[in-house]
């Protein structure tokens, strides 16, 4: 009875639970359940070192005691001893696989240690252990084994008869998340939380789904709610830091990551995330140190090496190159680590002047990365053809005066690596313009209008725009302005959306925001396509991992831009990278004139602007314009035959 009372007190008042356990231990010294509860109570009060002192000798003396191994692992984790925590939690889960809490804690710690695959398996076991219905157990087994289609079919059938089963809703949401269908996951989890507001595991999944869709403000609200109940949970703290960074609150994100590392200093991916945040705000040396600490803790963490390479101005040492080669030689290396390391070693060898070996690694990285993305070049080409058929002079003439009348947005479009960050940096150096980020909102609106749920589905976009009325079009423009408001921190009249892929949606942009400025960041085809081929993109650029696909994508981009130049003369202002480098003062004045901005000398000194920059060109735009990169593609010309042929087949001049 006394132990049960202590257990009930634990969640509400850990100090009282501690007192109850101490009373029990006075009567029964060394009683292991009282020791376990005492350790949990101490941990709940932030006294993790004391908790470890209580539980470690008891659990070490009873290696077959699952509950003791669990509490030992939790105390170790609270002290930041991640590897030892994973070992103890693994023992606990192995001793009693039926306890969901063991698997969830193990998944949290594996995630922090950088073992994403292991974390996914642990979370799947957590779900399996949390259900008892035979159908749900079977679906959970399929989810654990990666048989997602089987799991989805079983869960949908179950939910027809049991539409309010929160465990099934959460599991189906997990299937959606694994397939990248985060909108579906969000809806399912919202339903789940409406039925069970205290279901914290589902709320964490919900916050993650929101974060993955760039709904950072909504995600942060969910994480804050979770942290009000469990402020020390490392997974919640990690997600909170990531959402703060996504919102552009980089100082708060850095503070959050640094606070997490004080208590969990062994977690390599947290060090890497701190490096990203430090790099973004221009604290380069500190960012490099954070990336290197990440590699020290996890020598095969390919993303940390790529993060160093992706600074563009960083140069690897001979020892670091040897370490990357050693990691690539490991037969057990995860696919994600392998392609990141190949991209990083490609950059290191390029800097060393060994272009043949460099291209070999770039090609290997692209093959491996592209294999998982399954880009469909025909779909992109079809979109371009359909857009050119829809967006005629007559289409726009019939809708003249429609849309939200705001000149606030400045869109910078084109291909990645074509100079868009440089243009953004120049404009954001003007006192009337704020740089934000590559905002996903236009693409999200287009996707919703198209009604496409699965990759294999067709889409009603852009033709669906023909059936919209003036009120619908204005509402879409106002929706964009409202969605992007969260990114505007400085109160300036104009802001920049630098999503390059928005070139595919110029017709939509002109329709819903007729007063917005549009800038085309243009660069020669060989230089642009090779720069993309050498780049690993976090998401959204699936065309970039094959030379033929790159050539076709570039040709579709050029065709669309030529179409809009003909249909909407002067609507899109082209900034050619080569001309900007050759005549910066002239081109910057023309750019400012197009945006209706008075000349400001700070735009010529853009490299002194210390604003946060998230893209790979962050360090390059903190330097004056340089000419050295203009013909860098020629060093790789012997291996670019497929790209040349793809461009020439669409009559794109190579020079």
pLDDT of residue 167: 86
When mean pLDDT is compared across 6-20, 91-105, 129-143, 493-507, the lowest value belongs to 129-143
Average of pLDDT values for 28-45?
90
pLDDT one-digit tens code per residue, 378-389: 999 999 999 999
pLDDT one-digit tens code per residue, 121-176: 787 777 777 677 788 888 888 888 888 999 999 999 989 988 888 888 998 999 99
- Residue 574 DSSP SS3: strand
pLDDT one-digit tens code per residue, 404-425: 999 999 999 999 999 998 999 9
Count of positions (residues) in the chain: 655
Give whole-number Cα distances, 50 to 22, 55, 190, 537, in Å: 13, 9, 39, 45
- In contact, 199 and 193? CB cutoff 8 Å: yes
pLDDT one-digit tens code per residue, 273-285: 999 999 988 899 9
- In contact, 110 and 141? CB cutoff 8 Å: no
When mean pLDDT is compared across 68-82, 376-390, 393-407, the lowest value belongs to 68-82
pLDDT band at 618 (very low <50, low <70, confident <90, very high): very low
pLDDT beyond 60 at 616: no
pLDDT beyond 80 at 111: no
- Residue 518 DSSP SS3: strand
C-alpha to C-alpha distance for 386 and 461, rounded to whole angstroms: 9
Which two tokens mark 557?
A: 């981009």
C-alpha to C-alpha distance for 479 and 473, rounded to whole angstroms: 10
- Residue 570 DSSP SS3: coil
The answer to whether the peptide bond before residue 462 is cis (omega within 30 degrees of 0) is yes
When mean pLDDT is compared across 2-6, 73-77, 174-178, 357-361, the lowest value belongs to 2-6
Per residue, the 3-state secondary structure of 104-160, as one string, reads HHHHHHHHHCCCHHHHHHHHHHHHHHCCCCHHHHHHHHHHHHCCHHHHHHHHHHHHH
pLDDT of residue 427: 95
Main-chain dihedrals φ then ψ at residue 418, nearest 5 degrees: -105, 5
Q: List, as one string, the DSSP characters of 397-451.
A: HHTTT-S-----EEEEEE-TTSSHHHHHHHHHTSTTEEEEE---HHHHHHHHHHT
Domains and CATH numbers, the chain: 1-130 (1.25.40.10), 377-649 (3.40.50.300)
Strand partners, 414: 521
């Amino acid at each position: 009875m006394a132990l049960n009372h202590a257990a009930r007190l634990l969640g509400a008042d850990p100090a009282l639970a501690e007192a109850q356990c101490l009373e029990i231990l006075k009567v029964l010294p060394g009683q292991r359940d009282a020791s376990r509860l005492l350790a949990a109570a101490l941990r709940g009060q932030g006294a993790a070192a004391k908790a470890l002192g209580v539980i470690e000798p008891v659990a070490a003396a009873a290696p077959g005691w699952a509950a003791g191994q669990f509490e030992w692992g939790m105390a170790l984790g609270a002290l930041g001893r991640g590897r030892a925590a994973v070992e103890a939690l693994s023992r606990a889960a192995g001793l009693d696989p039926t306890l969901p809490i063991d698997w969830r804690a193990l998944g949290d710690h594996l995630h922090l240690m950088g073992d994403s695959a292991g974390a996914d398996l642990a979370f799947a076991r957590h779900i399996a252990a949390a259900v008892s219905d035979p159908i749900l157990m079977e679906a959970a087994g399929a989810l654990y084994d990666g048989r997602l289609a089987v799991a989805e079919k079983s869960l949908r059938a179950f939910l027809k008869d049991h539409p309010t089963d929160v465990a099934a809703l959460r599991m189906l949401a997990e299937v959606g998340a694994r397939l990248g269908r985060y909108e579906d996951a969000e809806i399912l989890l919202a339903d789940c939380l409406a039925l069970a507001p205290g279901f914290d595991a589902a709320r964490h999944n919900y916050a993650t789904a929101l974060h993955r869709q760039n709904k950072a403000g909504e995600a942060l609200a969910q994480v804050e709610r979770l942290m009000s109940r469990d402020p020390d949970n490392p997974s919640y703290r990690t997600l909170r830091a990531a959402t703060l960074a996504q919102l552009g609150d980089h100082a708060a994100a850095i503070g959050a990551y640094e606070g997490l590392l004080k208590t969990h200093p062994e977690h390599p991916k947290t060090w890497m995330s701190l490096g990203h945040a430090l790099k973004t705000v221009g604290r380069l040396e500190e960012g490099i140190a954070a990336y290197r600490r990440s590699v020290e803790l996890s020598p095969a963490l390919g993303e940390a090496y790529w993060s160093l390479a992706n600074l563009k101005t960083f140069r690897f040492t001979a020892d670091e190159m040897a370490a990357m080669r050693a990691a690539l030689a490991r037969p057990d290396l995860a696919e994600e680590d392998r392609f990141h390391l190949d991209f990083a070693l490609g950059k290191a060898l390029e800097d060393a002047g060994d272009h043949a070996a460099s291209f070999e690694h770039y090609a290997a990285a692209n093959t491996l990365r592209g294999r998982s993305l399954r880009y469909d070049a025909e779909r992109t080409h079809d979109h371009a053809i359909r857009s050119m058929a829809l967006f005629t002079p007559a289409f726009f003439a019939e809708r003249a005066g429609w849309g939200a009348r705001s000149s606030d947005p400045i869109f910078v479009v084109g291909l990645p690596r074509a100079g868009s960050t440089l243009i953004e940096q120049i404009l954001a150096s003007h006192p009337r313009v704020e740089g934000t980020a590559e905002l996903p909102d236009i693409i999200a609106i287009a996707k919703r209008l198209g009604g496409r749920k699965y990759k294999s589905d067709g889409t009603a976009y852009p033709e669906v725009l023909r059936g919209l009325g003036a009120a619908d079009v204005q509402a879409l423009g106002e929706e964009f302005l409202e969605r992007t408001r969260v990114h505007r921190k400085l109160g300036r009249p104009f802001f920049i959306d630098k999503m390059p892929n928005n070139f595919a949606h110029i017709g939509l942009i002109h329709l819903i925001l007729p007063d917005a400025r549009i800038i085309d960041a243009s660069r020669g085809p060989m230089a642009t396509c090779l720069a993309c081929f050498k780049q690993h993109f976090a998401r959204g650029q699936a065309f970039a991992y094959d030379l033929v696909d790159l050539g076709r994508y570039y040709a579709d981009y050029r065709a669309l831009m030529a179409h809009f130049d003909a249909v909407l003369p002067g609507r899109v202002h082209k900034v050619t990278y080569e001309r900007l480098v050759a005549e910066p003062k002239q081109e910057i004045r023309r750019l400012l004139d197009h945006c209706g901005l008075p000349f400001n000398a700070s735009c010529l000194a853009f490299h002194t602007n210390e604003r946060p920059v998230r893209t790979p060109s962050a360090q390059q735009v903190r330097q004056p314009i340089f000419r050295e990169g203009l013909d860098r593609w020629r060093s790789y010309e012997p291996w670019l035959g497929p790209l040349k042929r793809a461009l020439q087949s669409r009559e794109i001049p190579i020079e």
